[in-house]
Structure 1
Amino acid sequence: MGTPTKQHSFLYRNGLGLLFSALFIVTLFAQAITGFYEHNSELEQDHAASIGFVEYLNSGHFISATFENFESEFLQMALYVILTVGLRQKGSAESKSLDEPEEVDREPKPGPDAPWPVRKGGVVLKLYENSLFIVFAILFLVSWCLHLYGSWIDHNEQQVLNGQPTDTVANYLTQANFWFETFQNWQSEFLSIASIVLLTIFLRQKGSPESKPVDAPHSETGK
């Protein structure tokens, strides 16, 4: 007789996703509350009328700040997913092996337990083979557009308060403000990727799937 399958609770099976989803919701709400008070403080300094919380959620200030961060995270994930296909880093837990074949590179085989696109084959399978990158890339583009929209709206609100003419989206794209917001987030994401790739060469965290085994040599590549 085979070993019986151990039964785990729903929380045990889904703890990682549930925890980070909860942290996301809590911190997004905290951002909205603190941003609401910050924005109204700025309006008060400009001798403008304050706005309500629901109105703030539709403001350029909130939309820009929110999707500015989403954008950089999705860019990080899209690049990380696609670049780790072909690029290597000797000794890193985040890299595929320099020479050995990897399980993720094997050709998909249809079977009763395989996802539907694998059983379907053809174009559907080709899309599914790259679906993680595709979705992250789409989420990045959508977030970038919403960041631009929110930043443009917020910029024009400031222009009106200062008695200055408003700008079109095209004109706003030629100004430094939007790109300053963009690059200050992008560079932090690239730094975080470089950090996890390089630090896992020499440092360890016992029990973490993001680390090599504690006794693994520094030169060992992959987990």
Structure 2
Amino acid sequence: VWKFATNAIQDKLVDSLNKIGRAVRNMQHSERILEILWTMAHDESLPYSILDRLLSCHGDISSGRHYLNRKSKHDYCLKCMDYIKSYNLQWIVPSSRYIMKLVEFDTEIIHFLIDKNDFILCLLQTIGRCQHDVWIQTNGNVSSDTLIDKRHTYKECLKLELDLLAYMLKKAPVYVVLRCAEELWLTLITNHEACLIDNELGFDWFITSFNEMNGQSRIEFYE
């Protein structure tokens, strides 16, 4: 039924699942709704607007249901991390948004991703790889309109990943913050493939986000 429904009907179905998911107080029912939303989001024929809504609803339910099995939250974060790590361009931005939504409501997930799964390194590698690819793709003429897939711009992707890094690093150990800052400086500021977008977002990150982090890491970095 879902695959053959019109966009309007799909939209109403997502609304209904979202309302049910927010209202139920049974962990098994919530997890079942999350499974359904996740499966629906992976229908390759979906319009992008419906895909975004499905993942947004999934994130809302996951972040709002404190009685959900923690393993369930971890599993969905790891699935998103796998998309980012495997450089699945269609899913890098949606996955980063999803993880951002969950970590804003549950700081334990930050420690899970950093301490047990080295998510910081995953993001840094993705930033570097994406930078290189768009540089090659445009012969060094990267602009605000340069796309990484069929709908997300390179600038949008980089800004989102930098925001996610900044949020997670506030809870990270000093050595992790320092390692990340050094890598970002080399990638976005001094790298010969760094474009104007890299420089602008990079300097902005160091001026704003980095200065909000651990004081000791800032001292060591600037020394």
Higher relative contact order (CA 8 A, sep 6+): 1
**What is the TM-score of this pair, normalised by structure 2?**
0.25
**What is the TM-score of this pair, normalised by structure 1?**
0.25
The higher radius of gyration belongs to 1
Higher helix fraction (1 or 2) = 2
